[in-house]
């Protein structure tokens, strides 16, 4: 296994020996790390280049390659790069150490000895670390030559989940690979994962990424800090209102299981905070009540995005449309996360910013307007990244017209008139052919790409294609039914 501080240098050496592009999978095998780690190293190296230049090129379907001209010209700067990396690595390790034991202090002298630097260097690090902690309302103080982090337990756990690499890089699908990793307690992790599966079974729902990682990290951090008596119980002010009884019961069950696992009582406040994470997550099931209807606030904010985004503002998108429900089902738990000060990490954030900069920036501006207009906390970049993906999806789906077939009792006359009316009314439909009822199955067999049959005659056909029955005159109600069918096919509703 290659030491972490050597990985960048080894990666550059590997790429220097390769001709053309090499897949991240091949590189990961040679480095002994995951492909995700390879991309993180690439991001780290490219981010260090002056003027925003790209030292390691990345192309979809090809892999990675060095910009050799830039590599040769920057070779003399690699030593400075490695020194800077050592500085950042030291600060990250100090921050991780302080967060995990907070509010207990660490001697400045001990830190200086551990990282082979002077005490004055550690105190300079303190100024940079405070900038990171300020986002979490945490304070890094020096008292009697000892460093310590102070703040609410909720904010401490949020910072740990976001800033400690163990939690930002956790892979729940390959948790067994972490068994020999000293950074994670495998027994605790396995227990938490089993509880996560139990939550899904009991609620008859799937908790998708990144919500599952968020809940996993919350429970793991809570257990680890409870085990080491590193925190004081929460002091929940006032009465607690639980919107969903099933989630409250499930939260209580999990905390009871944790108390039994640890062999000690757990503060009842933990039930509320686990509930907050659950109610702020998205569940993939039609039975889950939180996704059946939207609050007026969710409806208003979802509608605001569609009416103001350049991609969608020319469209008439209703609350009953598939794309509206899809985005609304994301915004609903997003607002709960903002209300409960819960933050989810977007592992694809940098790729999203790079791949879709215009959409991301437009959503940043609109999200600031949303926060001000609807009096909600500022929407962070991780959330904006997820929103970006929804509008990217809409943009991609809008590019390709949906292929359709027009059918009448005969294949001429009325059928051609109906075709013209459809083409004039629906720019996102491509009429492949106009057929009579008796040969519809044969034509559909030749055109498997056709997804919609618009017909003026109620004739049975063998093909299980989606069918819309309309009048030859194309009434306003007919157009509504066609639009609904298009939405259902587009968004698989």
- C-alpha to C-alpha distance for 328 and 301, rounded to whole angstroms: 9
Supply the pLDDT for residue 168. Answer: 63
Say if residues 99 and 91 touch (Cβ distance below 8 Å): no
Segment 270-292 mean pLDDT: 74
* CA angle in degrees (0–180, nearest 5) for 299-302-303: 80
Confidence of residue 177 (pLDDT cuts 50, 70, 90): low
- C-alpha to C-alpha distance for 64 and 66, rounded to whole angstroms: 7
Confidence of residue 362 (pLDDT cuts 50, 70, 90): very high
Q: What's the half-sphere exposure (Cβ side, CA atoms, 13 Å) at 104?
A: 10
Which range has the top average pLDDT, 5-14, 234-243, 408-417? 5-14
Q: Among 22-26, 236-240, 321-325, where is mean pLDDT lowest?
A: 236-240
Q: What's the half-sphere exposure (Cβ side, CA atoms, 13 Å) at 248?
A: 8
Domain ranges for the chain, please list them. Answer: 4-66, 81-151, 163-279, 293-398, 400-490
Say if residues 393 and 400 touch (Cβ distance below 8 Å): no
Q: Among 120-134, 142-156, 170-184, 263-277, where is mean pLDDT lowest?
A: 170-184
Is 70 exceeded by the pLDDT of residue 209? yes
Tokens of 126: 């303190």
Supply the pLDDT for residue 387. Answer: 95
Supply the pLDDT for residue 1. Answer: 46
3-state secondary structure of 475: coil
> Which of 166, 162, 145, 144 has the alpha carbon at shortest distance from 154?
162
| 404 bridge partner residues | 431, 452
User: Using CA of residue 14, residue 15, residue 17, residue 22, what is the dihedral sign?
Assistant: positive
- C-alpha to C-alpha distance for 158 and 141, rounded to whole angstroms: 19
- C-alpha to C-alpha distance for 187 and 24, rounded to whole angstroms: 31
Q: What DSSP letter does each residue of 40-51 carry, written as one string?
A: HHHHHHHHTSGG
Q: Among 160-169, 225-234, 431-440, where is mean pLDDT lowest?
A: 225-234
- Confirm or reject CATH 1.25.40.340 for domain 400-490, answering yes or no: no
Within its chain, how far is the Cα of 456 from the centroid?
44
- C-alpha to C-alpha distance for 255 and 264, rounded to whole angstroms: 11
Confidence of residue 229 (pLDDT cuts 50, 70, 90): low
Quote helix, strand, coil % in the chain, to nearest 5. Answer: 60, 10, 30
- The position carrying tokens 């925190």 is 231
Supply the pLDDT for residue 237. Answer: 53
Is 80 exceeded by the pLDDT of residue 94? yes
Supply the pLDDT for residue 291. Answer: 43
Is 70 exceeded by the pLDDT of residue 292? no
User: Using CA of residue 126, residue 128, residue 133, residue 134, what is the dihedral sign?
Assistant: positive
The helix (H) or strand (E) run that includes residue 255 is: helix 245-262
> Which of 298, 293, 295, 275 has the alpha carbon at shortest distance from 203?
275
Tokens of 472: 């030859």
Is 50 exceeded by the pLDDT of residue 385? yes
Segment 489-493 mean pLDDT: 63
Give percent of the chain above pLDDT 90: 25
Segment 425-433 mean pLDDT: 85
> Which of 180, 207, 175, 206 has the alpha carbon at shortest distance from 191?
175
Q: Where do runs of H (alpha helix) occur along 341-475?
A: 349-355, 357-373, 381-399, 414-425, 440-446
- The position carrying tokens 């929103």 is 387
324 vs 185, more confident: 324
Is 60 exceeded by the pLDDT of residue 329? yes
Write the CB contacts of 456 (distance below 8 Å, at least 6 apart in sequence): 407, 408, 409, 414, 415, 418, 469, 470, 471, 472
Q: What superfamily in CATH does domain 293-398 come from?
A: PRD domain (1.10.1790.10)
Write down the pTM of the prediction: 0.61
Is 70 exceeded by the pLDDT of residue 258? yes
Is 60 exceeded by the pLDDT of residue 278? yes
Is 60 exceeded by the pLDDT of residue 238? no
Confidence of residue 307 (pLDDT cuts 50, 70, 90): very high
4-66 matches 163-279 in fold: no
Which range has the top average pLDDT, 296-310, 403-417, 427-441? 296-310
- Topology annotation, domain 163-279: PTS-regulatory domain, PRD (1.10.1790)
Supply the pLDDT for residue 288. Answer: 43
Write the CB contacts of 205 (distance below 8 Å, at least 6 apart in sequence): 283, 284, 285, 287, 288
Confidence of residue 53 (pLDDT cuts 50, 70, 90): confident
> Which of 400, 437, 411, 382 has the alpha carbon at shortest distance from 209?
382
Q: Name the CATH code of domain 4-66 (choices 3.40.50.10800, 1.10.10.10, 1.10.540.10, 2.60.40.10).
A: 1.10.10.10
Is 90 exceeded by the pLDDT of residue 443? no
Q: What DSSP letter does each residue of 189-204 carry, written as one string?
A: HHHHHHHHHHHHHHHT
Supply the pLDDT for residue 493. Answer: 46
Say if residues 468 and 454 touch (Cβ distance below 8 Å): yes
Supply the pLDDT for residue 235. Answer: 52
Give percent of the chain above pLDDT 70: 86
Q: What DSSP letter does each residue of 43-112 carry, written as one string?
A: HHHHHTSGGG--SEEEETTTEEEE-HHHHHHHGGGHHHHHHHHHHHHHHHHHHHHHHHHTTS-EEHHHHH
Write the CB contacts of 255 (distance below 8 Å, at least 6 apart in sequence): 266, 268, 270, 271, 274
Supply the pLDDT for residue 326. Answer: 87
Segment 464-470 mean pLDDT: 88
Confidence of residue 353 (pLDDT cuts 50, 70, 90): confident
Averaged pLDDT score across all residues of the chain: 83
301 vs 176, more confident: 301
Supply the pLDDT for residue 289. Answer: 43
Exposed, middle or buried: residue 70 (CB in 10 Å: 0-12, 13-18, 19+)?
middle
- Topology annotation, domain 81-151: Arc Repressor Mutant, subunit A (1.10.10)
Supply the pLDDT for residue 316. Answer: 83
Is 80 exceeded by the pLDDT of residue 446? yes
384 phi, psi to nearest 5 deg: -65, -35
Query: 125-173: per-residue pLDDT in tens?
Result: 999 899 989 988 999 999 999 999 998 888 888 888 888 877 766 767 6
Is 70 exceeded by the pLDDT of residue 367? yes
> Which of 335, 324, 239, 341 has the alpha carbon at shortest distance from 290?
335
């Amino acid at each position: 296994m290659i030491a972490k501080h050597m990985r960048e240098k080894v990666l550059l050496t590997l790429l220097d020996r390769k001709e053309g592009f090499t897949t991240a999978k091949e590189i990961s095998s040679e480095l002994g790390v995951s492909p995700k780690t390879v991309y993180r190293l690439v991001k780290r190296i490219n981010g260090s280049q002056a003027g925003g230049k790209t030292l390691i090129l990345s192309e979809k379907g090809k892999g990675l390659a060095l910009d050799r001209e830039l590599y040769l010209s920057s070779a003399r700067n690699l030593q400075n790069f490695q020194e800077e990396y050592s500085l950042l690595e030291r600060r990250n390790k100090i921050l991780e150490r302080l967060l995990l034991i907070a509010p207990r202090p660490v001697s400045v002298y001990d830190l200086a000895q551990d990282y082979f630097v002077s005490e004055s260097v550690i105190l300079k690090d303190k100024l940079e670390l405070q900038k990171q902690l300020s986002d979490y309302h945490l304070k890094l103080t020096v008292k009697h030559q000892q460093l310590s982090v102070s703040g609410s337990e909720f904010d401490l756990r949020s910072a740990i989940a976001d800033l400690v690499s163990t939690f930002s890089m956790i892979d729940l699908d390959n948790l067994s690979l972490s068994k020999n990793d000293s950074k994670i307690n495998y027994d605790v992790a396995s227990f938490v994962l089993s509880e996560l599966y139990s939550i899904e079974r009991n609620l008859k729902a799937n908790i998708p990424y990144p919500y599952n990682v968020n809940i996993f990290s919350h429970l793991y951090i809570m257990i680890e800090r409870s085990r080491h008596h590193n925190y004081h119980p929460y002091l929940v002010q006032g009465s607690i209102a639980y919107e969903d009884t099933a989630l409250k019961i499930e939260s209580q069950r999990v905390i009871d299981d944790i108390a039994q696992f640890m062999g000690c009582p757990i503060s009842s406040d933990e039930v509320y905070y686990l509930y907050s994470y659950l109610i702020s997550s998205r569940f993939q099931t039609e039975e889950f009540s939180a996704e059946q209807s939207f609050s007026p606030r969710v409806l208003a904010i979802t509608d605001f995005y569609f009416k103001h985004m350049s991609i969608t503002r020319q469209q008439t998108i209703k609350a009953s449309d598939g794309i509206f429900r899809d985005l609304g089902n994301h915004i609903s738990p997003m607002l709960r996360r903002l209300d409960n000060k819960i933050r989810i990490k977007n592992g694809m954030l940098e790729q999203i910013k790079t791949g879709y900069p215009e959409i991301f920036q437009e959503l940043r501006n609109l999200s600031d307007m949303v926060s001000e207009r609807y009096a909600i906390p500022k929407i962070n970049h991780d959330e904006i990244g997820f929103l970006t993906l929804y509008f990217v999806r809409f943009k991609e789906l809008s590019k390709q017209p949906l292929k359709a077939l027009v059918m009448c009792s005969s294949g001429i006359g009325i059928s051609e008139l109906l075709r013209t009316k459809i083409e004039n009314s629906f720019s996102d439909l491509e009429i492949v052919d106009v057929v009579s009822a008796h040969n519809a199955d044969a034509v559909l067999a030749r055109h498997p790409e056709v997804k919609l049959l618009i017909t003026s005659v109620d004739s049975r056909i063998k093909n299980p294609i989606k069918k819309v029955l309309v009048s030859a005159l194309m009434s306003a109600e007919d157009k509504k039914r066609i639009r609904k069918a298009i939405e259902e096919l587009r968004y698989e509703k």
